[in-house]
Chains A and B, each alone.
Chain A
Amino acid sequence: MTDSAFPQDPRAPRPADPPPAQPPSYHPGSAEPRLNRPVHERYPQIRPTSGYADPRVRHTGPGPGAGTEQEPERSSKLSARLALALTVLIGQLWALTIVVDEWMSGNTGTAWWGAGFLVLSFLVVLGLWALDPKDR
């Protein structure tokens, strides 16, 4: 053992007993009983009305996919809007540096064009935000 390629730290903790010959038997859930509590006990913020369990969602009926998201497009559309808005925001940060630069070197006209760009970008973000369907 001592002349192995990877000598062990002599002070490192070692397993108390040799590993069992058999892997531990399988049982569902966690070894920690705390983690086996029902979901609404572990996450009180998840209410019956949040997310997938919203009763206003149309019935799925039995069958594959029952109880999951009815329209995955809703969720991906929301992600896409958020991604677009963040992209526009990055463009705005860039434009603001340009505006400051131009103003400081005396090109006030260019700075105003940049300010217009910033306002237009804001309108785009507002539009993305306002696209929200109102049903949920």
Chain B
Amino acid sequence: MSVTEQPPAEGSRDTDAAQEALHDRIAADSLTTRRDYLRIVATVSGGLAVGGVAVASGILHRHGDGDGTPEPKKIADRILPGESLAFRYPGDEDRAIAVRMADGTLAGYSAVCTHLACAVLWRKERGSEGELYCPCHEGIFDARTGEVTAGPPPRGLPKVLLIEQLDGSVWAIGTARSGESLQEGLCRQQGDALRLCRGGAGAEGERSERT
């Protein structure tokens, strides 16, 4: 039963008056005019402009953004095929995931979904060779490239560069942003310190450095 068609209350005139007042309020004309809407739209628009400038000047945290060059960090003594490992690199708040696929490929990614920042999980039984899966909105990332294969995430996962020592221990040595290749990311962070970066990749590294 809607508010406006209640049966007349017996006895009390009090509730009657209250109902009357309520009905009057509901039935009254809305006082928001098109001019008011225009003002509201202008305010929201200004808010969006401020938000855009804030984003461009860097209020959002990017994986691996921090002070200086990240130090290499040992994350595991070994990772067996089909297994994954959650770790933090380079900062304490940079959640990351290391995956060893069945064929031995070792890959590291940020574990923060690019959609709404849920935790990304390794699901080895999904897909043909396992995939990185975000349970929040069924986002799926390719475990080999980090690119989005399904679901709402707008970008691929940022990467973490992992290397394996001869004794099987796994070290994280650098990061790369969503669109970057591992080499670009590494050269951006290490500068000219690596021989790898001094050649053709130098220009690339410079481009990222400048931005």
A binds B: yes
CB <8 Å contact, A109 and B177? no
A108 is contacted by which of B41, B46, B211 (Cβ under 8 Å)?
B211
Residue interface mask B48-81, A partner, CB < 8 A = 1 = 1101110111101010000000000000000000
B75 to chain A minimum Cβ distance, whole angstroms, is 24
A68 sits at the interface (CB 8 A)? no
Residues 73-119 of A at the B interface (beta carbon under 8 Å): 78-79, 81-82, 85-86, 88-89, 92-93, 95-97, 99-101, 103-109, 111-112, 114-115, 117-119
Given A85-B42, A99-B55: A104 and B211 interface contact (C-beta under 8 Å) = no
Whole-angstrom distance between the alpha carbons of A46 and B24 in the complex? 13
CB <8 Å contact, A107 and B49? no
| Inter-chain contacts of B178 with A (CB < 8 A) | 104-106
Residue interface mask B142-182, A partner, CB < 8 A = 1 = 00000000000011000000000000000000000111100
| Inter-chain contacts of A44 with B (CB < 8 A) | 24, 28
CB contacts between A and B, total, < 8 Å: 120
Q: Give the dominant DSSP class at B's interface.
A: helix
B35 sits at the interface (CB 8 A)? yes
Closest to A136 in B: B35
| Inter-chain contacts of A82 with B (CB < 8 A) | 34, 37-38, 41
B31 sits at the interface (CB 8 A)? yes
CB <8 Å contact, A78 and B35? yes
| Inter-chain contacts of A112 with B (CB < 8 A) | 56
CB <8 Å contact, B52 and A96? yes
Interface size classification for chain A: 35 or more
| Inter-chain contacts of B49 with A (CB < 8 A) | 92, 115, 118-119, 121-122
CB <8 Å contact, A104 and B44? no
Q: Give the dominant DSSP class at A's interface.
A: helix
Given A103-B58, A106-B62: A118 and B48 interface contact (C-beta under 8 Å) = yes
CB <8 Å contact, B55 and A103? yes
Whole-angstrom distance between the alpha carbons of A31 and B37 in the complex? 36
CB <8 Å contact, B42 and A126? yes
B29 sits at the interface (CB 8 A)? yes
Given A43-B28, A97-B154, A111-B56: A85 and B62 interface contact (C-beta under 8 Å) = no
Whole-angstrom distance between the alpha carbons of A81 and B48 in the complex? 19
| Inter-chain contacts of A81 with B (CB < 8 A) | 38
Please, could you name 23 A-B residue pairs with CB atoms under 8 Å apart, sorted by A? A45-B29, A82-B34, A82-B37, A82-B38, A89-B48, A93-B48, A96-B48, A99-B52, A99-B55, A100-B55, A104-B177, A105-B178, A105-B180, A106-B179, A106-B211, A111-B55, A114-B56, A115-B53, A125-B41, A126-B42, A129-B39, A129-B42, A132-B38
